[in-house]
Structure 1
């Protein structure tokens, strides 16, 4: 696994336009393509991963497939090349991958994404609310436009509510919902005021929903990543931030998407996490999540 361990360096300066793609990144992220080894923890499970085309979503899709799950991934139409690469990795693992393009900041699209996943996979056992958006190229709250706010809130919160509402119509005993939170919920950056606010809300949503649906045998948890090398970074950060990205963690480096995937597998599995619900699991390079 390519983790840059030991050199405590950031990345070469680079920028893209949102939402960002994998291939132009230097270096390309490690999604576990050559390292993740499955052991049947999710055999027969059917999972929907929002934002499953790249970054953390791709790593989770690969890991889920190698654990035996069929996978549906949602993504923006302009991310199709990344999504098709993810699908090839899933199919190489011997399971199905359903591609669901669409902008889930639109309510009808978000709900239809779930319905298409259920129809295509024959049901739904695991939902991963991974899709997210940030914009860090700003200096203060005065720089946050209404357009920015709409995109962040609708991607990170509205879509999460709509998709979860729809998914719960199809989930039952033994199902799992995993939300993607962030270290920003605990150590917010001033340049990410709107994004950090949504991640704190996701933590509350996770605990609250776990209390509601626990009696149905449905578990709800979240993973809080630290700085992870994904297309979102060069697409939304200043170049000087990229050069030092992740170096402020106790481990001295950014994480790779592959280093997040085992946390999602753990929480998705009835084998390993049957009594885990209402918690936020930090994968942060040493930054605290309490």
Structure 2
């Protein structure tokens, strides 16, 4: 059985009710001052919250997004309100040449690149494994894992010792998800990518880590599930509620700044209390 998807992927934040909480909770302390961060899927959800937090901490922020122009412009406004410089770049990260162009424009604008957050994703709920369409599998992998490869490959020539790469994986990489099998599979691949690159790039002084959120209230949720599933979303977590994007963004900040200088090949778990074994 296919499950009805109310919105196109990856969803529009401005259509959500209630609106996710994306604003940082504390004043900045300059932990990213002078840095430039590129965030794919930076227009909304966890990407938006991370963009605003990075800006508050002093970073220039490049927001790469698919086609959610209204959300992207709002995030750019939020970044500028924090006193930071920003840039929005539109396009599909599943296209390698587009990733090369995103990185080129980012480096041209800000004269360098220090942090890459590979975060763009899509997911499509399907009731039965045998009903997952071939094209959906290809598209989900194209965005969720090929896009990570492409943006990191494009950025690598510009990254130097002390740079940080952070990939968004998911709790589903560890415990699966019956309705999101192809999505969970990509998130497992991202986990393996983090571990492999963490080892590979250690000699370069480039740290590679991941964040594995649990049920977080982002545009992907109403874009993926019917209203009854959305209504109960996150209620079965130990904390009894979905998390908010601004409860996840500090994990990205920790891994991006010097606070996380002894972390590589690791994953943080803002998931509402799920016990995860690696």
* Superposed pair shares fold, TM > 0.5: yes
Aligned residues: 273
> Does structure 1 residue 95 correspond to structure 2 residue 87?
no
Task: State the match for 2:102 in structure 1.
Answer: 113
Instruction: Determine if contact 1:75/1:100 at 8 Å carries over to the other structure.
Output: yes
Per-residue CA deviations over 1:1-58 (Å, capped at 9, x if unaligned) read xxxxxxxxxxxxx93232211121110101016x342111111110000000000000
Instruction: Report whether the alignment pairs 1:249 with 2:237.
Output: yes
Instruction: State whether structure 2 residue 41 is matched by structure 1 residue 51.
Output: yes
Matched position secondary structure for 1:109: helix
Question: Equivalent residue for 1:4?
Answer: none
Q: What's 1:27 paired with?
A: 18
1:1-290 alignment, distance < 5 Å: 15-32=6-23, 35-77=25-67, 79-136=68-125, 138-270=126-258, 272-290=259-277
Which residue in the other structure is 1:9 paired with? Answer: none
Question: What CA distance in whole angstroms lies between the structure 2 residues aligned with 1:129 and 1:19?
Answer: 15
Displacement of 1:194 in angstroms is 0.4
Alpha-carbon separation, structure 1, partners of 2:256 and 2:244: 20
CA contact (8 A) 1:133 1:232 kept: yes
Unaligned runs of 5+ in 1: 1-13
After superposition, the CA RMSD in angstroms is 1.2
Q: Distance in 2 between matches of 1:204 and 1:19?
A: 24
Q: Is the Cα contact below 8 Å between 2:177 and 2:184 reproduced in 1?
A: yes
Structure 1 counterpart SS, 2:18? coil
In structure 1, C-alpha distance between the alignment counterparts of 2:262 and 2:62, rounded to whole Å: 26
CA–CA distance in structure 1, aligned partners of residues 41 and 9 of structure 2? 13
8 Å CA contact retained: 1:186, 1:288 = no
Question: Shift of residue 164 of structure 1?
Answer: 0.5
Q: Equivalents in 1 of 2:7, 2:231: separation in Å?
A: 15
Q: Which runs of 5+ in 2 are unaligned?
A: none
Q: Deviations over 1:98-141 (max 9, x none)?
A: 111011111211221112111112110000001011001x2111
Distance 2:260 2:221 in 1: 31
**Separation of aligned partners in 1, 2:171 and 2:60:** 29
Residues 172-226 of structure 1, C-alpha deviations (whole Å, 9 max, x = no match): 1100000001000111111111000111111110011010111111000000000
1:70 & 1:168 partners in 2: Cα distance?
Answer: 18
- 2: CA distance between counterparts of 1:95 and 1:169? 25
Alpha-carbon distance in 2 for matches of 1:49, 1:27: 24
Q: Distance in 2 between matches of 1:289 and 1:165?
A: 30
> 1:10 corresponds to which residue?
none
